[in-house]
Amino acid sequence: MLDHVSIGVRDIARSKRFYDATLKPLGFACKSADAGSLGYGATDTIGLWIGVSDHPVPPHDQSNLHFCFAAPSPQSVDQFHAAALRHGGRDNGRPGPRADYGPNYYAAFVIDPDGYRLEAHCEKA
């Protein structure tokens, strides 16, 4: 449905450190980088663009805005969460099953350094 998503951040170098580490366990890497933007994806396709902005979307806990990344395994969800916490993110839901989302739903939730809420999810057999 969506081709890509773009977000604005205040500090592109800080975001690169965070997203490089956090998305690596999920199989995503920075495929494009310059002084003002970063592009992340799994192949040559970029699904997440990050750009410098003087006015990023202000964080709001009750906005319901979040981005969910597909994860290949429960272990990668665990690694996503741990990497986010090591690189300036905050916990917003430890890794584990989420039975209220579905019988095999396994996810972790974090908040990036700019306040964006992120999730990594896989189906656990």
Each residue's pLDDT tens digit, 16-39: 999 999 999 999 999 999 999 999
CA distance 108 to 98: 9
Each residue's pLDDT tens digit, 37-84: 999 999 889 999 999 999 888 888 888 899 999 999 999 999 999 999
Q: Give me the residue spans of the domains in the chain.
A: 5-53+64-123
CA distance 43 to 46: 8
pTM for the model: 0.95
Give, rounded to a whole angstrom, the gap between the first and last alpha carbons of the chain. 26
CATH 3.10.180.10 fits 5-53+64-123, yes or no: yes
Residues 6+ apart with CB under 8 A from 13: none
